Amino acid sequence: MNDRWLGILEVGLSILSPPSCAACDTHVGIGRAFCSLCAGTVLRSTSGGAAFVYGGAMANAITKMKYGDRPDLGRVLGALLASAARIEGVDVIAPVPLHPTRLVERGFNQSALLAKPLAKAVRRPFAPRLLCRVRPTPRQTALDRAERRANVAGAFEVRSFVVGMCVLVVDDVRTTGATLEACESALLIAGAREVRTLVLAEAP
| Residues of this chain that bind Zn ion (CB under 5 A) | 21, 23-24, 26, 35, 38
Taking the C-alpha atoms of residue 84 and residue 49, their distance in angstroms, rounded to an integer, is 10
Cβ 37 to Zn ion shortest distance, Å = 6
The residue among 24 and 103 lying less far from Zn ion, judged by its C-beta, is 24
Contacting residues for 62 by C-beta, under 8 A, at least 6 apart:
54, 77, 110, 172, 173, 200, 201
Q: In 3D, which of 9, 11, 8 has the Cα closest to residue 22?
A: 9
For residue 28, the minimal CB distance to Zn ion (Å) is 7
How many residues are given for the chain? 204
CA–CA dist 104, 110 (Å, integer): 13
